């Protein structure tokens, strides 16, 4: 399908398709896969539903996600290369499945949050970096 014929993100099923497809790519990625599976030992059966709630909250304005996502990332051995790859895979996933205003919003929000996480992680792990 070309971007002319792709649907926008509109339903919970769309959110699930986006998240499932994104983490399939993450799992297969040689840079990011090991962080999730070998370092964090992510329990996917628990993580994926949390991510449906998170993205549904941002894009469909539901209110199920109650969490503090940043804290989970502090101990991870990730830097700007990881965040760049994360965002690249996320945007590619969105573009492969969806097109429209909400799809654009998804990429924008992902980019903003990735940027905030990356900056905050640098500060948390090296407070002198902001001086």
Specify binding-site residues for heme: 47
Instruction: Give the 3-state DSSP-derived string for the chain, with helices as H, strands as E and coil as C.
Output: CCCCCCCCCCCHHHHHHHHHHHHHHHHHCCCCHHHHHHHCCCCHHHHHHHHHHHHHHHHHCCCCCCCCHHHHHCCCCCCHHHHHHHHHHHHHHHHHHCCCHHHHHHHHHHHHHHHHHHHHHHHHHCHHHHC
# binding residues, ligand HEM (CB under 6 A): 22
Question: Does 67 contact ligand HEM by CB under 6 A?
Answer: yes
Could you say whether residue 96 binds ligand HEM (CB under 6 A)? no
How near is the Cβ of 64 to ligand HEM at its closest, in Å? 11
Q: Binding of ligand HEM at residue 47 (CB under 6 A)?
A: yes
Q: Across the chain, which distance is largest between two alpha carbons, in Å?
A: 50
From candidates 7, 20, 54, 92, binder to ligand HEM by CB under 6 A: 54
Q: Does position 86 bind ligand HEM by CB under 6 A?
A: yes
Q: Among residues 72, 75, 83, which one has the least CA distance to residue 32?
A: 83
- In the complex with ligand HEM, the residue whose CB is nearer, 1 or 46, is 46
Residue closer to ligand HEM, measured from CB, 114 or 124: 114
Q: Interface with ligand HEM includes 48 (CB under 6 A)?
A: no
Rounded to the nearest 5°, which phi and psi values hold at 99?
-150, 145
Question: Looking at beta carbons, which residue is closest to ligand HEM?
Answer: 67
Q: How far is the CB of 10 from ligand HEM (least distance, A)?
A: 20
């Amino acid at each position: 399908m070309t971007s002319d014929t792709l649907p926008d993100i509109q339903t919970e099923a769309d959110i699930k398709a986006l998240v499932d497809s994104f983490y399939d790519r993450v799992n297969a990625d040689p840079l990011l896969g090991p962080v999730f599976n070998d370092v964090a030992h992510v329990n996917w059966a628990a993580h994926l539903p949390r991510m449906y709630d998170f993205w549904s909250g941002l894009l469909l304005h539901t209110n199920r996600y109650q969490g503090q996502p940043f804290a989970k990332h502090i101990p991870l051995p990730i830097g700007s290369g990881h965040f760049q790859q994360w965002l690249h895979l996320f945007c590619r996933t969105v573009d492969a499945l969806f097109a429209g205003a909400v799809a654009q919003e998804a990429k924008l929000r992902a980019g903003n949050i990735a940027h905030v996480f990356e900056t905050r992680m640098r500060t948390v792990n090296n407070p002198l970096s902001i001086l």
